[in-house]
Structure 1
Amino acid sequence: MSIWDSLTSCFWFSPENQRNTFASILAGVLFFTGWWFLIDAISVHPEQTRVIHILLGIMGTISLVMVNSVTQAQISGDVTFNGGCLEARGARIWIFVGFLLGFAAIIAAVWAMIADFSNEKVSSWPGISVLLQNVFIFLGSIIFKFGRTEESY
């Protein structure tokens, strides 16, 4: 029995779950890479990075958690979901605020990149890394939300 045969018999690598597996792995790699960009910028240029640059990444991470904590059944108002104080309307508000935070983090990263790092005397890498971090976190959030199927196992 080869290694591939033993992996394909695993629950996570079964043919009907490969879409979920690959979407989860890709989203995790994007999230990790986004944070790695900021960690690199902080380690290479610690004098140019400020706390607000880190807070933008935290805001993007909170957006990822908010967007992916709501299922499609909760958003669509499926009859099987009848919880919470606002039910489907509350789930829609929650995911809207999550997407709003993600877009706001990207817009604020562009603003920080232009305002803080457009000077020729400083390196532009910290500004680029903050922008790349938030774009990668947002792309990871989108892939993790819409790249998987939400079936009960």
Structure 2
Amino acid sequence: MAGCLDNFQWPSCECCELGEKRNAIASIVSGAMFFSGWWIAIDAAAVFPNEADLPKAAHICGAVGTIALFMINSVSNGQVRGDSYSTGCLGQRGARVWLFIGFLLAFGSLIAAAWILFGLYVVPPNNIPNPMPGVQIFLQNALIFFGGLVMKFGRTEDLWG
């Protein structure tokens, strides 16, 4: 079965060619996702001001996800590959460790948001009648996470270099 689609070529469309605009589009989409995530979290805090409806500690996931987004996107792909970063105290290895810690924080914030959603709002022995705050917190972290991935992997080269 291997090789059955080797000669298949996806039809190209001139209207879908991004070319030089790929970095700008990735930045705009990532920024819109990040903005939407925080807008949803601020809306949840405004609509559900009581500690019983939405614990204030639930917003820590969004803050950690934001820090992870900045950590992931502060390291360029060239630094990870070793193309453009050979100096410094740790060099390429330090850039990879920094990126790894950023991804750990990003996945951790998304998992913590899922735990808040299911642990506080979905499981049957809850006293909270409305599960919407948990959905909003999870949606915030999912948008921040995927916005960071769009920004990291959606661009062709570094934005500033």
Question: What is the correspondence of 1:21-36 to structure 2 with a 5 Å cutoff?
Answer: 21-36=24-39
Runs of 4+ residues over 3 Å off in structure 1: none
Decide which moves more: 57-66 or 37-46.
Answer: 37-46
List runs of 5+ in structure 1 lacking aligned partners: 1-14
RMSD across aligned C-alpha pairs, in angstroms?
Answer: 1.6
**2:3 counterpart residue number:** none
Counterpart in the other structure of 1:56: 61
**Other-structure match for 1:11:** none
Residue 122 of structure 1 pairs with residue 129 of structure 2:
yes
TM-score, normalised to structure 2's length? 0.80
Distance (Å, rounded) in 1 between the aligned partners of 2:97 and 2:59: 26
Separation in 2, partners of 1:17, 1:51: 43
Q: Does residue 1:67 correspond to 2:72, yes or no?
A: yes
Query: Which residue identity does 1:50 align to in structure 2?
Result: P
Structure with greater helix percent: 1
Which AA in structure 2 matches 1:32?
A: F
User: Which residues of 2 match residues 35-46 of structure 1 at below 5 A?
Assistant: 35-46=38-49
Does 2:96 align with 1:92?
A: yes
Return the letter of the residue paired with 2:64. Answer: M
The sequence identity of aligned pairs, in percent, is 44
> After superposition, what is the alpha-carbon deviation per residue over 1:7-27, rounded to whole angstroms, capped at 9, x for unaligned?
xxxxxxxx7531111111000
Q: Distance in 1 between matches of 2:81 and 2:35?
A: 31
Residue in 2 aligned with 1:148?
A: 155
Q: Secondary structure in 1 aligned to 2:119?
A: helix
Q: Tell me the SS of whatever aligns to 1:93.
A: helix
What is the SS of the residue equivalent to 1:122? coil
**TM-score, normalisation: structure 1:** 0.84
Q: 104-113 or 80-89, which moves further after superposition?
A: 80-89
SS in 2 for 1:141: helix
The DSSP-based 3-state class of the residue aligned with 2:75 is coil
